[in-house]
Amino acid sequence: MIKNSKIRIKIKISFNKNKQLFLEKINMLIFISAKLSILKTNFGNHYMKQMRKKIELVNKLLIEKYGIPPRSKVPPNPIDLLIGTILSQNTNDKNSYKAFQNLKESYKDWNEVEQLTRTQIETKIKIAGLGKQKSGAIKEFLSSLKKEKGSISLEHFRKADNEKILNELTSFNGIGVKTASCVLLFSLRRNVCPVDTHVHRTTNRIGIVKTKTPDKTFEMINSDLPEEVAHSFHTNLIRLGREICRPSKPSCLICPLLKVCEYDKKNLNGEIKYKKNDFLLLDRIK
Ligand code: SF4
């Protein structure tokens, strides 16, 4: 009898010890997880602050090199801008501008263009290349807008927030984040920086972001963009990407960002190519 009660006491003591150890371990895990979460937030905040500072610095250095890019006094109509952006895909701005003028000057308004067949639109925009694809996107956009809203107008965007506009425009076939964000910046004058291949490549080389796709770059940059920088930052980066920071063999020796750029494959071997290329379609659309 006495032997049994001794065993019970021993089991109880051991159970209590294990329970205490278990609780200590749980407390330790909660403590570590809280610490990690604070570190993660601090790292995120630190990273965002660094990104913001770098955007401000790069914007300043590019303005010193290229100046503040000119803008039209009256912002273009959102439909004009959107169609101009569709025409600008994978071609140079001079040809897409000619295609835009050709289409716009041939008809009274976008209602008339909507009535055309896809092939009739294709004939008018031939010079911009990818005629079948671009005429299809234009025809589909105009027809869907008319069907959904009852008229070809995006005037309701003037009072809408950026997220709503991005969601609405990207719901149309053939319209991506870049085209939608160009409407925000150039037509509605919002502080939003569109990201094309030049902006994606240069911001990654410089070390502003480390991203794999233009859409991810867009998300990162616009999550904390300094006020009033979008137009000059976007426009001057495109010019830098065309003239100096080209996809292959960038001319790093004449780059205004040489001292702040983090790219580890800079071209410093003395071969310098430079050709001025400052014709930007989206600032020409009236
Ligand atoms: S230093 Fe070279 S890689 Fe860096 S931004 Fe300038 S041209 Fe591009």
User: How many Cα atoms are found within 13 Å in the side-chain-facing hemisphere of 257?
Assistant: 30
Compute the distance between CA of residue 205 and CA of residue 217 in angstroms, rounded to an integer: 12
- pLDDT score, position 29: 66
In this structure, the chain runs to a length of: 286
Which residue type occupies 205? Answer: R
Cβ of 263 closer than 6 Å to ligand 1, yes or no, is yes
* Distance of CA 261 from the midpoint of ligand 1 (Å): 6
Question: Could you read off the pLDDT of 69-126 as tens digits, one per residue?
Answer: 999 888 999 999 999 999 988 888 789 899 999 999 999 999 999 999 999 999 999 9
* Distance of CA 53 from the midpoint of ligand 1 (Å): 18
* Distance of CA 244 from the midpoint of ligand 1 (Å): 7
What DSSP string runs through 75-142? PPPHHHHHHHHHHHTTS-HHHHHHHHHHHHHHSSSHHHHHHS-HHHHHHHTGGGS-HHHHHHHHHHHH
- pLDDT score, position 17: 67
Among 245, 259, 265, 271, which is best to mutate for testing ligand 1, by the most ligand atoms less than 8 A from CB?
245
Q: Whose CA is nearest to atom 4 of ligand 1?
A: 261
- pLDDT score, position 19: 73
- pLDDT score, position 16: 65
* Distance of CA 213 from the midpoint of ligand 1 (Å): 19
Say if CB 138 and CB 170 are below 8 A apart.
no
What tokens appear for 53 in the block? 């500072």
Catalytic residue IDs: 178
Q: Is 182 exposed, middle or buried (0-12, 13-18, 19+ CB in 10 A)?
A: buried
Instruction: For the domain covering 78-187, report its CATH number.
Output: 1.10.340.30
- Which parts of the chain register pLDDT below 70? 1-17, 28-29, 31-43, 270-271, 279, 281
What DSSP string runs through 24-67? HHHHHHHHHHHHHHHHHHHHHHHHHHHHHHHHHHHHHHHHHHH-
Cβ of 261 closer than 6 Å to ligand 1, yes or no, is yes
* Distance of CA 255 from the midpoint of ligand 1 (Å): 6
Cβ of 241 closer than 6 Å to ligand 1, yes or no, is no
Compute the distance between CA of residue 121 and CA of residue 137 in angstroms, rounded to an integer: 10
Cβ of 201 closer than 6 Å to ligand 1, yes or no, is no
- pLDDT score, position 151: 92
Cβ of 208 closer than 6 Å to ligand 1, yes or no, is no
Cβ of 255 closer than 6 Å to ligand 1, yes or no, is yes
Say if CB 123 and CB 107 are below 8 A apart.
no
CA distances 228 to 142, 170, 187, 198, 234, Å, are: 31, 24, 15, 20, 11
CATH class of 197-221+229-283: mainly alpha
